[in-house]
Structure 1
Amino acid sequence: MGRLFGTDGVRGRANDDLTPELALAVARAAAGVLADRDGTSRPVAVVGRDPRASGEMLEAAVVAGLSSVGAEVLRVGVQPTPAVAFLTADTGADLGVMISASHNPMPDNGIKLFSRGGHKLPDAVEAAIEHTITTQRRRTDGHRPTGTEIGRVRDLTDGGARYAEHLLSTVDQPLTGLTVVVDCAHGAAAGIAPEVYRRAGATVHVIGGEPDGWNINDGIGSTHLGPLIEAVHAHGADLGIAHDGDADRCLAVAADGEQVDGDAILAVCALGLKERGALREDTVVATVMSNLGFHHTMRRAGIAVQTTAVGDRYVLEALRRGELSLGGEQSGHLVFLDHATTGDGLLTALALLGRMKSTGASLAELASVVERLPQVLVNVPVRDRIAVVESDAVADAVNAAEAELGEDGRVLLRPSGTEQLVRVMIEAPTQAQADEVARRLAEVVAAVR
């Protein structure tokens, strides 16, 4: 078996790469690795999913796998990923399982795992789960619970309400006077995000709020901002909020249609926390994908930046290690460690709205503090991500690009952790130069066989 876990859990085409059999095996193995109880009580697992149709099938397999090893299952149904993380901690469960492929197209699905406390797994724990799965496949014997030892399943009917109350507890003042369009991507945010923003005091208009199992992320959501821009203009809204399929990320659109990415949102929130004396160590955590302009903005504000690999779990690890309070990604995953253990799109949106309310400034004004260097990101489909990484031709092309840009730009080549893609990112003094360097490097990557 090859590497099972990617950047964010197990992901693949549902019923092809990610089969019910694999989902059952992952659940059984995860329960064994994460539920380190003393044997006197049953392990407890929280299970949630996004609305895509294959989630029903995979949820059944995960629940079967967990109960077959004696775990008690708290099924929360369709909920955002951060809700599952929160409820894992809130219920004192041993593990949490979220069935979602996040921003990926509907045919894909995935399994995200949380340990006790609602934390994503470090590499060593993922490796232990993979090893356990391999061992399970080789063995045909061994004890299985029977009779009263088999785990039971019940629905945690107030899970969504508990998560909503948690979100609203972070709001310092009513958001009255703000009009927002929220794009729920026909995903897990549809059932909760509009309600939370309304209860916080904002006037809310909704698009992408009618999931049918098939339409998640389909031309809408955080990877397709066009419909949100149109809706913000149509309603004369102060801003638009875009979530992805499982609502762990948040991007925004200003009243004039300007797109506001995770770097800008992170900067706005960091400056707000620093102003209140709540940004621990005057430090924020970002990933290698963050624009150089973000780094310049933070430096001018007296805020240090720690840089990690891509993935909100790496951001979280740095936050916990340094006892820091805020970190995030350009893609819109922000982690507010005082309130959450993973990226939370709804929490991020509330923080952004709160900053607008407290300052009286527009989103465009707040986001303007980040002077972005021209940046190009090209997703290059490849046959073999590892072959690209090991290619001498690619290495030579990267070295040539870095020499051309010098200290005025940046080159980043990163294999996707979830898809057969290599991401080519270029920052340069001018857009034309960034476009040209990215084009040349993408051609070299695409030619690798």
Structure 2
Amino acid sequence: MSTLSAPLSSEPSASEPIVSISGLRGIVGQQLRPEAVARYVMIASSLWQKGPIVLSRDSRPSGAIFRHAALAALMGCGREVIDIGIAPTPTVGIVIRRLGAAGGVQISGSHNPPDQNGIKLLDENGKMLPPALAEAVKDRYFSAFQAYSQPPHVPGKCTSFPMATLWHLRAVEELVDVDRVRRRGFRVVLDANGGAGGPLGIRLLEDLGCQVFGIGTLPDGNFHHPPEPLPENLGEVAAQVAKLGADLGFCQDPDADRLVIIDSSGQCLSEEHTLSICLDHILRSRKGPVVINCATSMVNEWIAAQYGVECIRVPVGEANVVQGMLRHRAVFGGEGNGGPIDPRVGFIRDSFLGMALVLEAMASQGVSVRELVNRFPPCVMKKLKLPLPPGSLGGVFARLRAAFPTAQVDASDGLRLSWSDRWLLCRASNTEPILRIIAEAQSPEALDELCGKAQSVVQEAIATPQAD
């Protein structure tokens, strides 16, 4: 029986792709194969409403293979497909809404290593599938659901659409004072790292009057450093920012939904600072609730308090943040991985939005990006991974609660313990037998004390387990 109409397995295994609310991903040729992509997309098609589907991919070479698999699957389901080619993920969301499409397929490995790729599914509102719908796709994928039972009476068709990035450009530029930014004549390094964001990034920055020094702006999938734009991966780019005398540098991930900033001295800012700078700038002129995930810096809570607005935390995951923004009618939101979200542009993390807001903040306040960050309270963050034997999670959480009796407890996504000046989040990985620990405090000493105690408690709980 074809793998398109039969389960690949009764449950996820090491040989199958990882499926979560964020989509599908895996190592190309091992976990991720064309038939897996076709089955996944056909299942999504069975849950979308009637209407065309927008198809796109980032610049990874394997994306061309999976584009054909996804296209064949959609057309085989009788869908009209609007193919926008290589494009950033936030662009896909804008096109879906503008064209009134039923959903979208973005083929992207996101920030993961070059040997991986994946699929992101979007709904009719141009946002990631809501968690409940994403879980339905996952359940059907690992079940006996017949993804393709019979051909349609009329096969689907495919049309190209060249206006996608222009729509995105205009949507971002409408939010900022373009003339004010142009008058500053910023010198900017853009590191697109061979990803999908290079062409639009260059166009946006030039429209904003910047002198642009591009690195890896051709979307050819040739990554000159690891795809995740973290400070430890950006040493050469940072050196170029300082050497060129640039005002700042912008670094994107391959599908351009994350943004990391480098200051004029060649120092990388934390990826957490992207959202904080944008949030502070937005709230100066537009008050309202903001939504972040439970692993994002408490600097954002401090910023919200300065402007007298509510900051709501939700479980980790872009889909959860967006659902929270809709529920609370938030004016802004995002995640601390460098992903700001403004509902006026779309409900997708957007590096281009981030670039425009950061430049407008610098221009309107007449300061450098480093001066913007220096206004925030000092906070430091640490991330740990610890082995997690099966059945030990409940005992670990119980011991942590007992060890920190004064903490405010949030169990909506793992276990989050918080105080006014620090917090600790423990979550079991969805893909590995490990416990992820994320913590933040106002000084390195306080952070080390918090993490050290938590690590000892976890290790003791694992060594002397109790019923989960």
Task: Output one character per residue of 1:249-282: Cα deviation in whole Å (capped at 9) or x when no partner.
Answer: 1121222334334543333333322322x23x3x
Question: 1:221 and 2:229 equivalent?
Answer: yes
- 1:218 Cα deviation (Å)? 2.5
**Corresponding residue for 2:413?**
none
- 1:409 Cα deviation (Å)? 2.7
In structure 2, list runs of 5 or more residues that go unmatched: 1-9, 13-17, 408-416, 464-468
- In structure 2, distance between residues paired with 1:195 and 1:410: 40
- In structure 2, distance between residues paired with 1:444 and 1:119: 39
CA contact (8 A) 2:227 2:253 kept: no
- 1:347 Cα deviation (Å)? 1.1
Question: 1:96 and 2:104 equivalent?
Answer: yes
- 1:185 Cα deviation (Å)? 2.3
- 1:91 Cα deviation (Å)? 1.6
**Corresponding residue for 2:39?**
25
- In structure 2, distance between residues paired with 1:445 and 1:189: 41
Aligned-residue sequence identity (percent) comes to 26
**Corresponding residue for 1:286?**
292
CA contact (8 A) 2:399 2:458 kept: no
**Corresponding residue for 1:425?**
438
Given residue 242 of structure 1, which amino acid in structure 2 is its aligned partner? C
Measured at CA, do residues 220 and 352 of structure 1 come closer, stay the same or move farther in structure 2, by a change above 3 Å? Answer: same
Question: 1:179 and 2:210 equivalent?
Answer: no
CA contact (8 A) 1:11 1:101 kept: yes
Q: Which moved more, 1:87-96 or 1:152-161?
A: 152-161
- 1:236 Cα deviation (Å)? 1.0
**Corresponding residue for 2:414?**
none
From the two aligned structures, give the one with the greater helix fraction. 1
- In structure 2, distance between residues paired with 1:415 and 1:234: 42
Question: 1:312 and 2:318 equivalent?
Answer: yes
Measured at CA, do residues 111 and 203 of structure 1 come closer, stay the same or move farther in structure 2, by a change above 3 Å? Answer: same
**Corresponding residue for 1:274?**
283
Given residue 423 of structure 1, which amino acid in structure 2 is its aligned partner? R
Task: Output one character per residue of 1:39-97: Cα deviation in whole Å (capped at 9) or x when no partner.
Answer: xxxx3111111111221111111111111110011111111110111111122111100
Which of 342, 353, 356 is the aligned partner of 1:336? Answer: 342
How many residues align? The count is 434
Equivalent residues in 2 for 1:125-204 (5 A)?
A: 125-134=133-142, 137=144, 139=146, 142-146=149-153, 149-174=154-179, 175-176=181-182, 177-204=185-212
- In structure 1, distance between residues paired with 2:148 and 2:341: 43
Measured at CA, do residues 160 and 294 of structure 1 come closer, stay the same or move farther in structure 2, by a change above 3 Å? Answer: closer
**Corresponding residue for 1:40?**
none
In structure 1, list runs of 5 or more residues that go unmatched: 38-42
CA contact (8 A) 2:429 2:436 kept: yes
- In structure 2, distance between residues paired with 1:321 and 1:394: 29
**Corresponding residue for 2:258?**
249
Partner of 2:197, secondary structure, is helix
Given residue 425 of structure 1, which amino acid in structure 2 is its aligned partner? I
Question: 1:117 and 2:130 equivalent?
Answer: no
Q: Which moved more, 1:261-270 or 1:231-240?
A: 261-270
Measured at CA, do residues 205 and 97 of structure 1 come closer, stay the same or move farther in structure 2, by a change above 3 Å? Answer: same
Partner of 1:259, secondary structure, is coil
**Corresponding residue for 1:13?**
27
> CA-atom RMSD, angstroms?
2.9
Given residue 110 of structure 2, which amino acid in structure 1 is its aligned partner? S
**Corresponding residue for 1:232?**
241
- 1:329 Cα deviation (Å)? 1.4
Question: 1:107 and 2:115 equivalent?
Answer: yes
Given residue 434 of structure 1, which amino acid in structure 2 is its aligned partner? L
**Corresponding residue for 1:376?**
382
Measured at CA, do residues 10 and 292 of structure 1 come closer, stay the same or move farther in structure 2, by a change above 3 Å? Answer: same
CA contact (8 A) 1:401 1:411 kept: no
CA contact (8 A) 2:427 2:435 kept: yes
Task: Output one character per residue of 1:139-180: Cα deviation in whole Å (capped at 9) or x when no partner.
Answer: 49843225xx11112222332333333333333223331111
- In structure 1, distance between residues paired with 2:458 and 2:69: 38
- In structure 2, distance between residues paired with 1:318 and 1:233: 39
CA contact (8 A) 1:375 1:427 kept: yes
TM-score in terms of structure 2 length: 0.83
Q: Which moved more, 1:396-405 or 1:80-89?
A: 396-405
- 1:440 Cα deviation (Å)? 6.4
Given residue 399 of structure 2, which amino acid in structure 1 is its aligned partner? D
Measured at CA, do residues 433 and 270 of structure 1 come closer, stay the same or move farther in structure 2, by a change above 3 Å? Answer: closer
